[in-house]
Structure 1
């Protein structure tokens, strides 16, 4: 253990615990508490766990979250992270101004400073891709690592969309929001994530990884050592013997060497994180980056599913081999339609209900899906942005004749976007 004192009492206190095992590894836990280092004069505790190889070929594993985090939260010492309490329970938002304000802050990265936030969007009224117990378990597992925020219903998503300029997660998508950045990743059941169990596991890992990559505002063990040794040398300079002074310098050198070893370990770990594997190269994110932006989240996946289904329908005529048929059938069976497609259909239906508002509603909606306005005369002409290849111009009349005209307009837009057959 090490303590740093000042004239007003202790400033920081910390400990390091090493537990060697019988397969050439050391399981290390560090904990440093700094007084008044967080917002509002809150004390700030930083915990760090490592699995360190002490022999060549030792298999390293990711350490579990320290139990001390659970104990601190259980005793009500989680503290306040800007707008959010640090806890191991989900925050269930209400459909009111306060709930919308908090959800907007999460979406834009303004709700927290210390921890990332998992945002669970709704698929209906009090329904989500994960069940309530799964959400509660997710929040429990991520206690002290990430906040978990849950929206109440889909109508909430529409209100939130207006406030955030369509930056929010919706339709069941689960988003990961970073402090100061906003939503950085979105997750849903698709070709990479097959079911709710895999979805929850993916979110757990992603949130933990994001937190480990964020800046650490607290001290780690070597920083505490450095500060304490320096303070001791300054305060006891006149009272120390030559041997004691030399020992302090040796302790400082050893501490700096420990810091160098930690930095070297981080550098060694970088290539495995940065170099893409074959599986990583075919990930959803990489595939979208190679093909180009999507007009909605999951578009590429939905179009590949349609391509597989169309190919299977003419497999006999083109003499498609049985292996290709089996793979394509598996794509159709195991690749669900993305939730965002259903959301887009409903948005189009909602935007084409009122003849007096159809022009402004469609202009706003299509602007979120790759279109921008080019002219505004008797008709509104919307053109796809340059990076969205294959999308034709959409013309929106300012005053459609009747209900049939609105229905035809909606179907025409669905055909132009190429989404009419994607949900078959």
Structure 2
């Protein structure tokens, strides 16, 4: 059945619950090919999109897998790297991403690679994929299997391994102590986007647990990152439509219906890309709020916050004050413990409880609603929610953290649905 896809620039084949679409487009600047594979599996709908884009200077493959639930109550499976990534690398091989080739084995640095390591950590090496930097333990060796990690992250991130502990000491001087060391693994984002450190102990008791956390972090970052524009289905569609219009004009065609159809397809593709750009802008705004909140909240040296950080200003402080206020009502009256708790409350009193305010705001927005219109979307986005509607339900994610993902019906008929959703979301978030 798939042979039918080779007969023309745009085609599709279906078989039961499966469907494959293909789309080819060529312009003077770029050659494009896209494949979409959709499948219904019980209550889940899977969509895999693979786009190949080649210019005179480079070629990229963009891969995206989406899973939507047919029912709001269905639980989505844990995400895994698409098998097609490995297939593409095995079939075509990986070219250079900046100074590093894309491959499924770790990049082992030598003692002369200090300058390269410094550029990778500072984010100015010209790579697009993130860098997973594995430092040497104090006693030598590494805390996990670096080649296995590289195989798991192939096509998603580069795994770079320093040769020894003295290399780490020399590197520290080059990057102002921004490098991880002593066995810690750091994820460094391109263009100086900061780092995230992982080490054994505390939250991660085994190498397997640690490797899983690193893969989850990379996946979450790539999900929230806007893809290369020319590696999207919308771009292939737009290019194909534009070339079809030019061909019709060149042939002197007067077929108005054909013109209208092709123009409509181009406009639809442009609108989709515009929506993607607006979503990216909103995500960056939310991320900026998170960084502002982190910069504005000081622990005073009393507590270590661990892995969690403020998702909005004073969030962690508000949670702690709520817990302390509750605890103060449960201890022995006029006891030393109550005096200490009351003292902390008085010294850290907030003019407005950020948790209660957000609970009430969410209730106000969703009360009596059965779907999300433009005004409600803007107000929810201002609160820090990102909203997508590609499937049969709205999917909302709080502050880009997919641990806090919720679904709302697109055509809810029960006016109490919004109130119930606000109650459920409020309990989990605020």
> Displacement, 1:180?
0.9
Q: What residue in structure 2 maps to residue 337 of structure 1?
A: none
Do residues 157 (structure 1) and 164 (structure 2) align? Answer: no
Aligned to 1:201: 212
Q: Equivalent of 1:5, from 26, 37, 53?
A: 26
Alpha carbons 1:116, 1:211 under 8 Å: kept: no
SS across alignment from 1:236: helix
Structure 1, residues 167-201: CA drift from partner, whole Å, max 9, x if none? 11111111011111164111112432233222111
Matched, 1:31 2:50: yes
Residue in structure 2 matched with residue 84 of structure 1 by the alignment = 100
Report if the CA contact (8 A) 1:106-1:182 is conserved: no
1:251 counterpart (253, 259, 265): 265
Partner residue of 2:236 out of 224, 230, 233: 224
In structure 2, do the counterparts of structure 1 residues 224 and 194 end up closer, same or farther at CA, with 3 Å as the change threshold? same
Q: How does 1:168-317 map to 2 (within 5 A)?
A: 168-181=179-192, 183-217=194-228, 218-237=230-249, 238-239=252-253, 241-252=255-266, 255=269, 290-291=298-299
SS in 1 for 2:246: helix
Task: Kindly indicate whether the alpha-carbon contact (under 8 Å) linking 1:107 and 1:182 is maintained by their aligned counterparts in 2.
Answer: no
> Which residue number corresponds to residue 119 of structure 2?
105
SS of residue paired to 2:159: strand
Taking the aligned partners of 2:191 and 2:275, their CA distance within structure 1 comes to 31
Aligned to 1:348: none
TM superposition shift of 1:247: 2.5
> What is residue 148 of structure 1 aligned with on the other side?
159
Contact 1:46–1:220 (CA under 8 A) maintained in structure 2: yes
Alignment of 1:353-392 (within 5 A): none
TM-score normalised by L of structure 2: 0.57
* Deviations 1:227-277, CA, capped at 9 Å, x for gaps: 21122123213325122223324434554676688789999999999999x
Query: Secondary structure, in 3 states, of the residue corresponding to 1:28?
Result: strand
Q: Which runs of 5+ in 2 are unaligned?
A: 1-21, 307-430
Residue by residue over 1:40-84, the C-alpha shift from the partner in whole angstroms, topping out at 9 and shown as x without a partner, is: x12121111111234443433354322222122224521100111
Distance 2:253 2:40 in 1: 38
Say if 2:82 is the partner of 1:66. Answer: yes
Distance in structure 2 (CA, Å) of the matches to 1:273 and 1:200:
25
SS at match of 1:50: strand
| Count of residues in correspondence between the two structures | 282
Selected match of 1:19 from 4, 22, 39: 39
In 2 relative to 1, CA 28–226 (structure 1 residues): closer, same or farther, beyond 3 Å?
Answer: same
What is the SS of the residue equivalent to 1:60?
Answer: coil
Q: Give 5+ residue unaligned stretches, structure 1.
A: 277-284, 299-424
- C-alpha contact 2:99 2:127 (8 A) present in aligned 1: no
The range that moved more, 259-268 or 144-153, is 259-268
| CA distance in 1 between partners of 2:245 and 2:157 (Å) | 39
Structure 2 contact 26–239 (Cα < 8 Å) conserved: no
CA RMSD of aligned residues (A): 3.9
Partner of 2:166: helix, strand, or coil?
A: helix
- Deviation string 1:204-249 (CA, Å, 9 cap, x unpaired) is 1112222333342242101211221122123213325122223324
Q: How far apart are the structure 2 equivalents of 1:155 and 1:297? A: 31
CA distance in 1 between counterparts of 2:286 and 2:68 reads 16
Task: Tell me, yes or no, if the aligned pair for 1:33 and 1:43 is still in contact at 8 Å.
Answer: yes
1:100 & 1:273 partners in 2: Cα distance? 32
Query: What secondary structure does 1:48 align onto?
Result: strand
In structure 2, do the counterparts of structure 1 residues 197 and 51 end up closer, same or farther at CA, with 3 Å as the change threshold? same
- State the partner residue of 1:328: none
Cα separation, 1, equivalents of 2:239 and 2:37: 19
Q: How far apart in 2 are the matches of 1:35 and 1:166? A: 39
Shift in CA distance, 68/127, structure 1 to aligned 2, threshold 3 Å: same
Query: Which of structures 1 and 2 has the bigger CA Rg?
Result: 1
- What CA distance in whole angstroms lies between the structure 2 residues aligned with 1:160 and 1:58? 49
Deviations 1:305-329 (A, max 9, x none): xxxxxxxxxxxxxxxxxxxxxxxxx
Q: Is the 8 A contact 1:175 1:183 kept in 2?
A: no
For normalisation by structure 1, the TM-score amounts to 0.57
